[in-house]
Amino acid sequence: MSYIEWFEQHGAKHKEIVDKLVAKGFSEDEIIDYFDFDNMVKEENDFCPLYKEPKKCHDMKKLNCYLCGCPHFRFNDDGLGEYNEFKILSKCDINNGEKFAGKNVIHQNCSKCSVPHHKAFVKKNFDLSWSKIMSGCKA
Ligand code: SF4
């Protein structure tokens, strides 16, 4: 799946859940709490493939899923630039995490960075529209 396909599909799933919670009268804090990993596994099992096992993407006691993938992520399926013979397809805007190389391409690796999964970060960057929060990701 390309980055843009994932981005659009995830944004649509996220919106469906938020719209449902807003219609039920949930406050901002209640919406953020609803996106807690343990609750999402129970209530929204199709939201993330890892919920099936269930397995957390990061080893954190409290993991919030509201801002998966991360407002600092930058991607372009046609390339953000080049490094030697590699095309750079994604990177981190604040230079966290690591890089990994695939066949002629370099991707951002966020597996060791928990920045977007902390409730305080979600609260600070909150908007009902996930697409709005992530609007800088499509570089
Ligand atoms: S490395 Fe961390 S801050 Fe950077 S894009 Fe990935 S999750 Fe976000």
97 lines ligand 1 (CB under 6 A): yes
Going by pLDDT thresholds of 50, 70 and 90, the confidence category of residue 132 is very high
For the chain, the structural domain boundaries read 3-71+113-133
116 lines ligand 1 (CB under 6 A): yes
pLDDT tens by residue, 29-62: 999 999 999 999 999 999 999 999 999 999 999 9
Q: What does pLDDT average to over the chain?
A: 96
Going by pLDDT thresholds of 50, 70 and 90, the confidence category of residue 125 is very high
Question: Cα separation of 105 and 85, whole Å?
Answer: 8
pLDDT of amino acid 12: 97
Backbone angles phi, psi at 25, to 5 degrees: 85, 15
CA of 139 to the centre of ligand 1 (A): 15
pLDDT of amino acid 45: 97
CA triple 115-121-126, angle to 5 deg: 130
DSSP reduced 3-state for 16 = helix
Which secondary structure element, helix H or strand E, spans residue 74, and what is its range? strand 73-75
72 lines ligand 1 (CB under 6 A): yes
CA of 63 to the centre of ligand 1 (A): 15
Q: Extract the tokens encoding 47.
A: 């939201």
pLDDT tens by residue, 22-31: 999 999 999 9
pLDDT of amino acid 10: 97
Q: Extract the tokens encoding 111.
A: 């597996």
Question: Cα separation of 126 and 132, whole Å?
Answer: 10
